[in-house]
């Protein structure tokens, strides 16, 4: 039995759960999320105990994998509508910066042109200063994917450390060329 899958998902006060067939809708103070689970998984919401239980039909390999995955995704939805997920990125480099124009994040990171990354409606993007980006959303997947897309524009390089990195990310530095004195 999946250790993660068999744990019940606690639902806090102020979170509203709606199950219809295989679709889960979670409403909270920070938004509303909807997700349709795999056809093999069974969902049950106990209103008295305020928990959601995920069960699987048998012990086939696919169902064992889906069991824990389904439980984790629903748990992330429940946690996200209570307290939104957050990712912070920092831009390192002389002249590197970011600006928000409409629903796009424009990145000026050493290329000849400005790279524009679209911001999904569910994600809130805030620039605390031109080199620090904060992404928040109740959807954990959307925050992580947008952060990865932004970082992919200019990943940090190992010699000077220039590029876009997650806040607090450690970049392993390389020494670079050493010139020997000829004599």
Q: Are 147 and 87 in contact (CB under 8 A)?
A: yes
Classify burial at 105, counting beta carbons within 10 Å of its beta carbon; exposed 0-12, middle 13-18, buried 19 or more: buried
pLDDT score for 34? 95
Whether pLDDT at 172 is above 80: yes
**Who's near 84: CB < 8 A, 6+ residues apart?**
30, 31, 124, 136, 137, 138
pLDDT, one tens digit per residue, over 17-30 is: 999 888 999 999 99
pLDDT for residue 21: 86
| pLDDT mean over 156-177 | 91
Give the number of other CB atoms < 10 A from CB of residue 135: 23
Which run of H or E residues covers position 63? helix 61-82
Domain 85-166 has CATH 3.40.640.10: no
What one-character DSSP code corresponds to residue 118?
E
Identical topology for domains 9-82 and 85-166: yes
Helix (H) or strand (E) holding 66: helix 61-82
Q: Is the pLDDT of residue 84 over 90?
A: yes
**Average pLDDT of span 2-21:** 88
> In Å, how far are 67, 87, 151 from 167, measured between CA atoms?
33, 8, 11
pTM of the model: 0.88
Three state DSSP letters for 128-183: EECCEEEEEECCHHHHHHHHHHHHHHCCCCCCCCCEEEECCCCCCCCCCCCCCCCC
Domain map (residue ranges) of the chain: 9-82, 85-166
Assigned CATH topology for domain 9-82: Outer Surface Protein A; domain 3 (3.90.930)
| CA gap 157, 160 in Å, rounded | 7
Q: What is d(CA 89, CA 82) in angstroms, rounded to the nearest whole number?
A: 23
Average pLDDT over residues 45-65: 91
Provide the 8-state DSSP code for 83. Answer: S
When pLDDT is cut at 50, 70 and 90, the band that residue 2 belongs to is low
């Amino acid at each position: 039995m999946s250790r993660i899958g068999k744990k019940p998902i606690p639902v806090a006060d102020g979170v509203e759960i709606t199950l219809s067939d295989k679709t889960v809708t979670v409403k909270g103070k920070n938004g509303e999320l909807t997700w349709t689970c795999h056809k093999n998984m069974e969902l049950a919401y106990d209103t008295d105990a305020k928990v959601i239980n995920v069960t699987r039909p048998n012990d086939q390999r696919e169902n064992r994998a889906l069991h824990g995955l389904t439980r984790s995704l629903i748990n992330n939805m429940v946690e996200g509508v209570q307290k939104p997920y957050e990712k912070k990125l920092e831009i390192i480099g002389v002249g590197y910066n970011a600006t928000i124009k409409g629903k796009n994040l424009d990145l000026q990171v050493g290329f000849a042109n400005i790279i524009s990354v679209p911001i999904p409606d569910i994600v809130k993007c805030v620039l605390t200063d031109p080199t620090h980006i904060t992404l928040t959303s109740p959807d954990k997947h959307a925050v992580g994917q947008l952060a990865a897309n932004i970082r992919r524009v200019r990943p940090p390089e190992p010699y000077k450390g220039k590029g876009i990195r997650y806040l607090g990310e450690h970049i392993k530095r390389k020494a670079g060329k050493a010139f020997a004195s000829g004599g």
